[in-house]
Chains A and B, each alone.
Chain A
Amino acid sequence: SAVISQKPSRDICQRGTSLTIQCQVDSQVTMMFWYRQQPGQSLTLIATANQGSEATYESGFVIDKFPISRPNLTFSTLTVSNMSPEDSSIYLCSAADRPHTDTQYFGPGTRLTVL
């Protein structure tokens, strides 16, 4: 199994600013993912963070709005750019230790409020 931590755990931000969320895994993992959970809704996959290359984004999510870095096998960041109140959500990082496995490990989430 993998233990995942995220920073910050929560933040309140002003419209038009950007926030970078960090995700740290306690072991090397092949796959890392970023999810969004909007109020009252289910988790939605934003993108797969690829080590050493650009992230793979899901439909409806773009790199300019959600740039992602993954410099190594244990760390990733998600930036929420030019924020608006609609970006208020919980953002979760997850990891899988190999492709096509059915087990993902999740971080505690970052609760973002945009005023």
Chain B
Amino acid sequence: GNSVTQMEGPVTLSEEAFLTINCTYTATGYPSLFWYVQYPGEGLQLLLKATKADDKGSNKGFEATYRKETTSFHLEKGSVQVSDSAVYFCALLTGGGNKLTFGTGTQLKVEL
């Protein structure tokens, strides 16, 4: 079956530090890959996505590249801000359906 593995949190960084949150996946076929973000008290929001190998998704300074050879979709940001503090979920979607498979989420805390 499909599965997503994320690095455990919490991840605590100082403002302007470089961020990497690792995500690897197992899937049949060729999944689409997503990063969702959940700010405190809010619903999950789609942060970025990539639908085929070597695609790079980007939004709000975050980037992730779909690496088929390593089955990975690591999230990166060059300089984090306090406002980036949230829980980040990696997810995949296969087969043209609507069933998302999520990782367990990684909490990011950014301090001044």
Contact = CB atoms under 8 A, between A and B. Distances in A.
A31 B93 CA distance: 15
- Of the candidates B32, B34, B43, B96, the one having the most CB atoms from chain A within 10 angstroms of its own CB is B43
Interface residues of B, number: 24
Interface stretch (B14-22, B69-77, B100-108): B100-108
Contacts of B42: 108
B26 to A, nearest CB: 13
A41 interface: yes
Interface in A73-115: 92, 94, 96, 99-109
A63 to B, nearest CB: 18
Contacts of B36: 106
Nearest to B105: A42
B41 interface: yes
Contacts of A104: 46, 98, 100
Describe B's contact surface by its main secondary structure: strand
Interface in A18-51: 31, 33, 40-45, 48
Interface residues of A, number: 25
A40 B98 CA distance: 24
A55 interface: no
A40 B87 CA distance: 12
A4 interface: yes
Q: Which of B45, B93, B98, B99 has the most CB of A within 10 A?
A: B98
A51 to B, nearest CB: 14
B44 interface: yes
Contacts of B51: 102
A58 B22 CA distance: 28
Contacts of A109: 43
A42 B98 contact: no
7 contacts: A43-B100, A100-B97, A102-B34, A102-B51, A104-B100, A106-B45, A108-B42
Interface of A: 4, 31, 33, 40-45, 48, 58, 92, 94, 96, 99-109
